[in-house]
């Protein structure tokens, strides 16, 4: 099993870097309240530093909105994951999900980067970032009805169908992270070259937190135009 970026994606978005943390033998059944405290603190810091009226002007969020437009997604209707998360934090406290998801949400908020995760056991074949054909199956998180992507939409997919729509907008239900997850893949995406060192820092911090709170064995990899495929 591998994670891949398609040639067509890299031709259109050559600046793309995707950081990957492969977390195995993890324990997501327990929850340390230190995680909640970390989130409350980063929420407070975010509200102090970010003007709700200027979220769209944050460089990485502005870049994601530009990228979404490039494959036909209206930014007001399809929000990239970090913009949606920051806007939620500016309005209210995040609710507790599980240690793994809460940790990666913390990383996303702190570093203002898009972060997403999948249960490796739910993936069939390779995990690929590619343009959708438009006829693939997709069941959104928490739903049962199929909602296929449009042709040309950027998606994460495997042999069975779509895993995440509109790049990082909507996760699928099939590979969701639960308390029973033992092996997971977490991705942090970056489209601004000046943020590549920030990406490495976020990956290192994520690895440390997953080791500390989920007892996970973690490995870091980075995909880009020079290295478009890595084994999971």
Q: Would you state the pLDDT for residue 131?
A: 98
Q: Which two tokens mark 56?
A: 């769209």
pLDDT, tens digit, for every residue of 71-127?
A: 999 998 999 999 999 999 999 999 999 999 999 999 999 999 999 999 999 999 999
Q: Would you state the pLDDT for residue 81?
A: 98
Q: For the packed helices 81-91 and 99-111, what is the interaxial angle rounded to 10 degrees?
A: 90
* Phi (first) and psi of residue 112, to 5 degrees: 50, 60
Q: Range of 26's domain?
A: 2-231
Give Cα 3 distance to the centre of its chain: 14
Q: Count CA within 13 A, CB hemisphere, residue 181.
A: 28
Local confidence band at 128 (pLDDT 50, 70, 90 cut-offs): very high
How many distinct structural domains can be found in the chain?
A: 1
Here the CATH number for the domain that contains residue 28 is 3.50.40.10
- Cβ burial of 27 (10 Å; 0-12, 13-18, 19+) is middle
């Amino acid at each position: 099993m591998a994670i891949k970026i398609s040639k067509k994606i890299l031709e259109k978005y050559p600046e793309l870097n995707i950081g990957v943390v492969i977390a195995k033998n993890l324990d997501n059944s327990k929850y340390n309240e230190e995680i909640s405290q970390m989130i409350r603190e980063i929420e407070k810091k975010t509200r102090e530093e970010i003007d709700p009226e200027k979220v769209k002007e944050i460089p990485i969020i502005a870049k994601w909105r530009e990228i979404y437009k490039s494959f036909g997604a209206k930014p007001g209707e399809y929000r990239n994951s970090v913009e949606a998360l920051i806007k939620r934090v500016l309005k209210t406290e995040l609710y507790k999900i599980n240690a793994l998801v809460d940790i990666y949400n913390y990383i996303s908020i702190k570093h203002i980067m898009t972060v997403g995760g999948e249960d490796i056991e739910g993936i069939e074949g390779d995990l690929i970032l590619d343009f959708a054909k438009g006829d693939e199956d997709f069941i959104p998180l928490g739903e049962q009805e199929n909602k296929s992507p449009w042709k040309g939409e950027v998606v994460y997919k495997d042999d069975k169908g779509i895993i995440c729509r509109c790049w990082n907008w909507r996760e699928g239900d099939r590979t969701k992270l639960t308390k029973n997850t033992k092996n997971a893949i977490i991705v942090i995406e970056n489209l601004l070259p000046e943020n590549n060192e920030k990406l490495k820092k976020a990956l290192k911090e994520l690895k440390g937190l997953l080791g500390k709170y989920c007892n996970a064995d973690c490995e870091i990899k980075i995909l880009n135009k020079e290295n478009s495929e890595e084994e999971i």
